[in-house]
Amino acid sequence: MLVTSSTSKFFKRKHSINLNGQLIDLSNPIVMGILNVSSDSFFDGGKYETEDAILRRAEQMIEEGVSIIDIGAVSTRPGSGATSTKEELLRLLPAVAAVRKRFPEIPVSIDTFRSWVALRVVDECGECIVNDISGGDFDEHMFDTVGKMGLPYILMHIRGNPQTMQENPQYDDIIKDISKYFSERVRRLTKAGVKDVILDPGFGFGKTVDHNYDLLNRLDAFKVFQLPVLVGVSRKSMIQKLLDVDAANSLGGTITANTMALLGGADILRVHDVKEAVESVRIFTKLKEVASV
């Protein structure tokens, strides 16, 4: 168990992600910064809709030590409404193009579940990581598309869809159920030619508060896949509900949850607050360094 084990406190990481020849080193954990360009995201919706605002935010995250910028144009909060492919592209393409032009050295991921959107972004803006909340379930062409383009792929676990996922989710054993989900889809991704797969257990996506903390407590179980693990708990309802705070006042809880995720073997922290997450990684890395002496 994460909170009681003294023998598996730190995990060796030998992973890297190959993004069009650019190797993203995961020998120590890294931070992925969230850049939402949708109008209705649960925490920062509507804040980054102009090119100037997008570039200022990207620059701030880079100054704070971000390793990857994750750009999304569709809200996937519980109960969120549908967004058309056309609207997603109208928001996403200019944002990715602006960030890639101004900051070409920073790897970009796109938060989309549509293969056509991934194709258009890569065609017009260059290679990126595909961050798919649906694990390929919302678009049957996603795995083959990512494989043919040679892109890294973030495989997230979800139950249902954003409109239905919080309607009484149930599991026999959340770790076993998610592991089965990962195993089947990793096999399909490998068959499709995807060489870099990152696992995301999907905190908050079809899970109760107790499910989320059970998942966080046993996160180290996913190391059996020998694949990078991404954790996204930033300001989510699992923190808000437990601490009786809103999203704006959930930073302290987020820092704590991120630290627990690092101890559980997270390779990538996906966050709104880059500075604080980078500091958590630096402290964790120092502890790991001292422990190995």
Which is the catalytic residue, given 102, 270, 275, 282? Answer: 270
Number of neighbours of residue 91 by Cβ within 10 angstroms: 21
Would you call 154 helix, strand, or coil by DSSP?
strand
Place of tokens 């089947």: 184
Would you call 143 helix, strand, or coil by DSSP?
helix
Q: Would residue 135 be called left, alpha or beta, if left means φ above 0 and alpha means ψ between -120 and 50 degrees?
A: left
* Nearest C-alpha neighbor of 72 from the set 20, 15, 127, 113: 113
* CA–CA gap between residue 115 and residue 121 (Å, rounded): 10
Which is the catalytic residue, given 236, 275, 282, 286? Answer: 236
To which H or E segment does residue 227 belong?
none
The alpha helices in 152-271, defined as continuous H runs, are 174-191, 209-217, 237-243, 251-263
Six-digit token pair at 2?
């994460």
Count Cα neighbours of 204 within 13 Å in the Cβ-side half-sphere.
18
Residue 231 contacts residue 219 (beta carbons within 8 Å): yes
Residue 114 contacts residue 83 (beta carbons within 8 Å): no
Q: What are phi and psi of 42, to 5 degrees?
A: -65, -25
Six-digit token pair at 266?
């997270």
The Cα-based distances of 3 to 41, 264, 276, 290 in angstroms read: 32, 9, 22, 20
Q: Is 223 a catalytic residue?
A: no
Q: Which residues are catalytic?
A: 236, 270
